Chain A
Amino acid sequence: MTARLLGLAVAFVALLTVPYWMPGDYYVNVSSQILFYAIFALGLNILVGYAGLVSLGHAGLFGIAAYATGYMLQLGYGHVPAILVALVIGLVSMAIYAVLSLRTTGIGFIMITLALGQILWGLAYRWISLTNGDNGINLPGRPQPFGVEINSANAYYYATLVTFLLALAATTVFVRSPFGAALMGTRDQPRRMNALGYHVWAIRFWACMFSGLLTAVAGVLFVYYTLFISPQTLALPASAEVLLMVISGGAGTLFGPVVGAALVVVVKSVVSGYIERWNMLLGLIFVAIVILMPEGLVPGSARLWRLAWRRASKKGAQP
């Protein structure tokens, strides 16, 4: 417990001081990317890890919130209404996703979410009068929350960090709550949960909504980071990428998706500068994780740590 708290404290201090020890703005921006992708992965993890529902269409929800922000700003609205409308549209889209896809679970759920994600990608790509097609939508600039400018790399990093910490805290409270326990029950034994008096469908629906909220928040942070949104953001590889973050880090754990997001973003944004075939490297890393730590990096590392600790204790106890 103490080691865990110490680790969390070190991680917190490291996150707070990122702009001071990172070698330059580029790496601070990479850190911002890690954080908003971590929020996205936390959102997907609510479904994959805690509800046992694998979605392959979450990039569509991420993208629709980003598009809504860009479109509202293009129409001349301010940042606050743009963000609020983006979150509402993200939630309404998630509700539609949920109503359609929760008719089934397992492969059926994956296929319906995949199809819905592809529909949104298709709309973004072909509904040119609304989305500007392949050319995408440019944003005029970033907001100034509470009068603070967030145009610099450092300032945007801190804005993302605050949002990330809030999202992480909300997720922690959510999964430890009675509702979180009920959600995990529906993942493990839906039939039993039904027989115990739980409304399995409704529990899954509200879990989808929380997942959709985190995804929409991440989408808004993403679009303010890039100041541009195009159909690429909603494409299937983007959904697969965030699923990779969740699974590689450890589905059903709080910190797994965060570590997974860091892994994928670092390989994509930093390692890709040195290795041309970074996609292959990412694939190899994923295969290695699946073989060596099928439960994911965070629970897998914890398991190895416990094993090493036990062995060291045994050795120490021997005369």
Chain B
Amino acid sequence: MTALAVTNLHKSFGGLRVTNGVNLSVEPGERRLIIGPNGAGKTTLFNLITGELSPDAGSVALFGTDITRMPSRRRPHMGMARTYQIITLFPHDTIIHNVSLALLGLTPMRWNPLTDIKRQSQLIDQARGALARVGLADIAGRPLAQTSYGERRRVEIAMALAQNPKVLLLDEPFAGLSIDERRDVHNLLLAIPRNVTMVMIEHNMDVALEFAERITLLHFGEVIVEGTRAEVVADPRTREVYLGH
């Protein structure tokens, strides 16, 4: 069964067509890279998949279940998690609190107004476990304001992983990172097990090509090339609209 199936998806903002009949089929465990020039509609496609935007036409299915009209808040409960191009965290809290919020989002405990969140040892342990996966367990109690950009990227990924997703959408996870930080995040992504299907938007082709098994090239809201890494890189249209000559 296909992990993520996007069928003939359309979205316009006024007269501007940002997604124009996109089809995407991602198999379970696959590592898919979405590339395209600025304004190609990559992040809009993510927003349509996660439900932050409603499509004008077309459908989105997650493991065979049509989720096109499902509220975006319910999709994480179905196994979909995402990270943001612009880091979106809780700046006044500690790293572990950020990850705890991610865990809490999927449990009925989030409605509990009577217990102390700091005494939820199972939640805290799980959050520590998620932080250990991204190498941040040692600084779990540090306020987010005192962390580097690279550490925040890893917190974003830890929050997504903490939700134990089946499909993980990564929106430019290497953006703004130094060479060392990029290597750390790259190793982190490579360590994610195969039961997690990953779709990544990325401009940094050095690291992204290593990650990708199949690549989809978007241009003006349309898929113009799709195939294996070698096929897409060798395609003249890729060179024309994205890689350059």
Q: Are B90 and A177 in contact (CB under 8 A)?
A: no
Known: A176-B117, A177-B115, A191-B52. A182 touches B82 (CB 8 A): no
Known: A177-B114, A179-B112, A181-B97. A197 touches B90 (CB 8 A): no
Cα distance A193–B73 when bound, in Å?
8
Cα distance A263–B74 when bound, in Å?
45
Cα distance A197–B159 when bound, in Å?
12
A176, A180, A196, A200: most-surrounded residue (chain B CB, <10 A) = A196
Q: Are A181 and B72 in contact (CB under 8 A)?
A: no
B-chain residues with CB within 8 Å of residue A192 when the two chains form the complex: 84, 88-90
Q: Does A185 contact B (CB under 8 A)?
A: yes
Cα distance A39–B129 when bound, in Å?
40
Cα distance A303–B1 when bound, in Å?
57
Q: Does B77 contact A (CB under 8 A)?
A: yes
Q: Does A189 contact B (CB under 8 A)?
A: yes
Q: Mark A190-218, 1 if CB is under 8 A from B, else 0.
A: 01111111111000001000100000000
* Partner pick for A179 among B73, B84, B97, B111, CB 8 A cutoff: B111
Q: Does A178 contact B (CB under 8 A)?
A: yes
Known: A178-B115, A198-B105. 10 other contacts (CB 8 A): A177-B113, A177-B114, A177-B117, A178-B120, A181-B97, A185-B90, A191-B88, A196-B102, A197-B74, A199-B73
Known: A176-B118, A178-B120, A191-B88. A196 touches B163 (CB 8 A): yes
Q: Mark B179-196, 1 if CB is under 8 A from A, else 0.
A: 000000000000000000
Q: Are A181 and B104 in contact (CB under 8 A)?
A: yes
Which B46-98 residues have C-beta < 8 A from chain A?
50, 52, 72-77, 82, 84, 88-92, 97
Cross-chain pairs A/B with CB under 8 angstroms, 22 sampled? A173-B113, A174-B113, A177-B113, A178-B104, A178-B115, A179-B110, A179-B112, A180-B113, A180-B117, A182-B110, A188-B90, A189-B90, A194-B72, A195-B72, A195-B76, A196-B102, A196-B163, A197-B77, A198-B110, A199-B73, A206-B113, A210-B113
Q: Does B209 contact A (CB under 8 A)?
A: no
Closest 9 CB pairs of A and B: A196-B105, A197-B105, A197-B76, A179-B113, A192-B88, A177-B113, A178-B112, A178-B117, A181-B117
B-chain residues with CB within 8 Å of residue A178 when the two chains form the complex: 104, 109-113, 115, 117, 120
Q: Are B101 and A197 in contact (CB under 8 A)?
A: no
Q: How far is the CB of A84 from chain B (nearest CB, A)?
A: 22
Query: Interface residues of A, CB < 8 Å — how many?
Result: 25
Q: A198 — nearest CB in chain B belongs to which residue? A: B105
Cα distance A178–B120 when bound, in Å?
9
Q: Does B139 contact A (CB under 8 A)?
A: no
Which A78-127 residues have C-beta < 8 A from chain B?
none
Chain B residues near A (Cβ < 8 Å): 50, 52, 72-77, 82, 84, 88-92, 97, 100-102, 104-106, 109-118, 120, 159, 163
A-chain residues with CB within 8 Å of residue B84 when the two chains form the complex: 192
Q: Are B73 and A188 in contact (CB under 8 A)?
A: no
Cα distance A189–B92 when bound, in Å?
11
Q: How far is the CB of B86 from chain A (nearest CB, A)?
A: 11
Q: How far is the CB of A180 from chain B (nearest CB, A)?
A: 7
Cα distance A193–B97 when bound, in Å?
13
Q: How far is the CB of A264 from chain B (nearest CB, A)?
A: 27
Q: Are B113 and A197 in contact (CB under 8 A)?
A: no
Q: Are A173 and B114 in contact (CB under 8 A)?
A: yes
Cα distance A185–B117 when bound, in Å?
13
Q: A183 — nearest CB in chain B belongs to which residue? A: B113
Cα distance A210–B100 when bound, in Å?
24
Q: Are A189 and B116 in contact (CB under 8 A)?
A: no
Q: How far is the CB of B110 from chain A (nearest CB, A)?
A: 5
Cα distance A184–B97 when bound, in Å?
11
B-chain residues with CB within 8 Å of residue A194 when the two chains form the complex: 52, 72-73
A-chain residues with CB within 8 Å of residue B117 when the two chains form the complex: 176-178, 180-181
Q: A182 — nearest CB in chain B belongs to which residue? A: B110
Known: A177-B117, A178-B117, A181-B117. A196 touches B159 (CB 8 A): yes
Q: How far is the CB of B148 from chain A (nearest CB, A)?
A: 20
Q: How far is the CB of A218 from chain B (nearest CB, A)?
A: 19
B-chain residues with CB within 8 Å of residue A181 when the two chains form the complex: 97, 100-101, 104, 117
Cα distance A188–B114 when bound, in Å?
22
Cα distance A191–B91 when bound, in Å?
14
Q: B73 — nearest CB in chain A belongs to which residue? A: A194
Cα distance A195–B159 when bound, in Å?
11
Q: Are B110 and A189 in contact (CB under 8 A)?
A: no
